[in-house]
A and B are shown apart, each in its own frame.
Chain A
Amino acid sequence: MRICDRSKCSGRRSQEKGRREILDSRHSVAGRAGVSICRMMETREMDRRKPNCLVALIVLLAAAVIGADAWKKDEFKRCDQTIFCKDARNRVDGSSNWFVSEVNVTNGKVRARLIEGGEGEHVGGSLILHLSAYEEGIIRLKVKEAEAKRKRFEVPEVVVKGLEDRRLWIQRVIEKDGASMVVLAGYEVVLLHRPFQLYVRSGKETLISLNAKGLFHFEQQREKKEGEDWDESFRSHTDSRPHGPQSIGFDVSFYGAEYVYGIPERATSLALKPTKGADIVSEPYRLFNSDIFEYLHDSVFGLYGAVPFMLSHSEKRTTGFFWLNAAEMLVDVMPKEKTETAEASRIDTHWITESGSFDVFFFIGPGPKDLIRQYTTVTGTSTMPQLFATAYHQCRWNYKDEADVAQVDAGFDEHDIPYDVLWLDIEHTDGKKYFTWDSVLFPNPKDMQDKIAAKGRKMVTIVDPHIKRDSNYYIHKEAQSKGFYIKDKHGRDYDGWCWPGSSSYLDMLDPEVRSWWADKFAYSSYQGSTPSLYIWNDMNEPSVFNGPEATMPRDNIHVGEVEHRDVHNAYGYYFHMASSEGLRKRADDNDRPFVLSRSFFAGTQRVGAIWTGDNTADWDHLKVSVPMLLTLGLTGITFTGADVGGFFGNPDPELLTRWYQLGAYYPFYRGHAHLDTKRREPWLFGEPYTSLIREAIHTRYALLPYFYTLFREANLNGLPLMRPIWMEYPKEIETYAMDDQFLLGSDLLVHGVYSERATSEDVYFPGSQMWFDVRSGASYSGGHTVKVPVIPESIPAYQRAGSIIPRKDRFRRSSFQMENDPYTLVVALNSSYEAQGELYLDDGKSYDFEKGAFIHRLFTFSKGRLTSVNLAPTEKGTKQFKTPCLVERIILLGLRPKDLSAHRVLIESSGAQVPAEVGAPLLRIGYHQANSLVVRMPNVRISDDWSIKVL
Chain B
Amino acid sequence: MLVRRGDRLCMSRVSIVHVVLSVVSLLLLAKDSVAVPNLRGIAPQDERYFQTAIIKCKDGTKSFPQERLNDDFCDCVDGTDEPGTNACPESKFYCKNLQHRALVIFSSRVNDGICDCCDGSDEYDGKVTCGNTCWEAGEKSREKLKKKLGVFKDGSIIRKQDVEKSKEARHQHDEELKQAKREVKKLESVVDKLRADKEAVEKEEKRAREEKDRIEKEERERRERESAPAKEESLEAVDVSDEVEGHAEHSEITKPAEEEEEEEEVLDSALDPSNKEEDELADLTEEERGRVIASRWTGEDISDIKAKAEAESKNHPDSHDDHDDQDDSGDEADESHDDEEDDDYGHPSYGQDSLLPTSSQSLGGDESWWSKLMIGPSAILKMFGFAGREPVDISEAERIRKEFREASDKLSNTQSKVSDLENRLKQDFGKDGEFYSFYDKCFELKDKKYTYKVCPYKDATQVEGHSTTRLGRWQGFKDDYTNMVFEQGDKCWNGPERSLRVKMRCGTKLELRSVNEPSRCEYVAEFSTPALCLESRVQELEQQLVHPNVSPDNGHDEL
Task: Point out residues on A near B: beta carbons under 8 Å.
Answer: 1-3, 5, 23, 26-30, 32-34, 36-37, 39-41, 43-44, 46-47, 50, 52, 55-56, 59-60, 62-64, 66-67, 70-71, 74, 235-236, 293, 400, 404, 416, 418, 454-456, 495-499, 501-502, 544-546, 550, 674-679, 698, 809-813, 817, 819-822, 883-886, 888-889, 920, 923-928, 936-937, 939
Contact = CB atoms under 8 A, between A and B. Distances in A.
Contacts of A456: 113
B55 to A, nearest CB: 16
Contact of A813 (B108, B263, B331): B108
Contacts of A71: 270, 275, 277
Interface string B66-102: 0000011110011000000011111000000000000
Given A236-B281, A546-B289, A925-B78, A676 B266 contact: no
Contact of B298 (A36, A46, A675, A679): A675
Contact of B112 (A2, A33, A813): A813
A60 B294 CA distance: 25
* Best-surrounded residue of A676, A812, A883, A937 (most CB of chain B within 10 A): A676
The 7 A-B pairs of least Cβ separation, nearest first, read: A497-B290, A820-B10, A545-B293, A546-B289, A546-B290, A43-B334, A236-B282
B299 interface: yes
B59 interface: yes
B262 interface: yes
Given A41-B259, A56-B260, A813 B109 contact: yes
A924 B77 contact: yes
Given A3-B491, A455-B114, A545-B291, 14 more contacts: A37-B266, A71-B277, A74-B278, A235-B278, A497-B289, A546-B286, A546-B293, A676-B492, A811-B106, A817-B113, A820-B11, A885-B10, A923-B88, A937-B71
Interface string B245-281: 0000000000110011011011101110101111001
A416 B106 contact: yes
B73 A936 contact: yes
A53 B318 CA distance: 27
A34 B78 contact: no
A50 B89 CA distance: 61
B262 A52 contact: no
Contacts, number: 226
B9 interface: yes
Select the residue from B256, B287, B301, B491 with max chain A CB neighbours within 10 A: B256
A313 B73 CA distance: 48
Contact of A925 (B71, B90, B113, B327): B90
Q: Which of under 10, 10 to 19, 20 to 34, or 35 or more describes the interface residues of B?
A: 35 or more
B339 to A, nearest CB: 12
Contact of B263 (A2, A60, A400): A60
B508 interface: no
Interface stretch (B41-49, B146-154, B437-445, B516-524): B516-524
A39 B61 CA distance: 62
A62 B268 CA distance: 12
Nearest to B313: A29
B520 A74 contact: no
Please indicate which of the listed interface residues A34, A50, A812, A924 has the most CB atoms of chain B within 10 Å of its own CB. Answer: A812
Contacts of B306: 32
A496 B291 CA distance: 11
A370 B90 CA distance: 44
B337 interface: yes
Interface string B130-145: 0000000000000000
Given A293-B296, A499-B294, A925-B90, A884 B10 contact: yes
Nearest to B110: A810
Interface centre among B8, B10, B289 (most CB of A within 10 A): B10
B498 to A, nearest CB: 12
B327 A40 contact: yes
A821 B10 contact: yes
Given A52-B259, A678-B522, A883 B290 contact: no
A230 B475 CA distance: 65
Nearest to A2: B491
B263 A63 contact: yes
Contacts of A66: 267, 270-271
Contacts of A28: 270, 277
27 contacts: A32-B306, A55-B260, A56-B260, A59-B263, A59-B267, A63-B263, A67-B266, A71-B270, A71-B275, A74-B275, A416-B106, A454-B114, A545-B290, A545-B294, A546-B288, A546-B290, A674-B297, A675-B299, A676-B520, A678-B520, A813-B114, A820-B11, A822-B9, A884-B10, A886-B8, A928-B77, A936-B73
A868 to B, nearest CB: 16
Contacts of A47: 334
Contacts of A820: 9-12
Given A33-B266, A62-B267, A676-B494, A46 B338 contact: yes
A27 B73 contact: no
Contacts of A496: 286, 290
B335 interface: yes
Contacts of B106: 416, 811
A927 B114 contact: no
B529 to A, nearest CB: 23
Nearest to A882: B12
A67 B11 CA distance: 63
Given A498-B294, A810-B86, A811-B89, A37 B263 contact: yes
Contacts of A3: 491, 493-494
Contacts of A924: 77, 89-90
B358 to A, nearest CB: 23
Contacts of A56: 259-260, 263
B298 A883 contact: no
Contacts of A41: 259
A819 to B, nearest CB: 8
B332 to A, nearest CB: 9
Nearest to B112: A817
Contact of A812 (B90, B112, B260, B297): B112
Given A59-B267, A74-B278, A33 B262 contact: yes
A502 B8 CA distance: 61
A670 B335 CA distance: 45
Nearest to B288: A546
A824 to B, nearest CB: 10
Given A27-B277, A817-B113, A39 B331 contact: yes
Interface in B104-132: 106-109, 112-114
Nearest to B265: A33
B276 to A, nearest CB: 4
B303 interface: yes
A34 B269 CA distance: 12
Contacts of B59: 925
A64 B269 CA distance: 11
B495 interface: yes
A375 B157 CA distance: 79
Given A2-B491, A495-B286, A46 B334 contact: yes
B330 interface: yes
B490 interface: yes
Contacts of A32: 306
Nearest to A917: B75
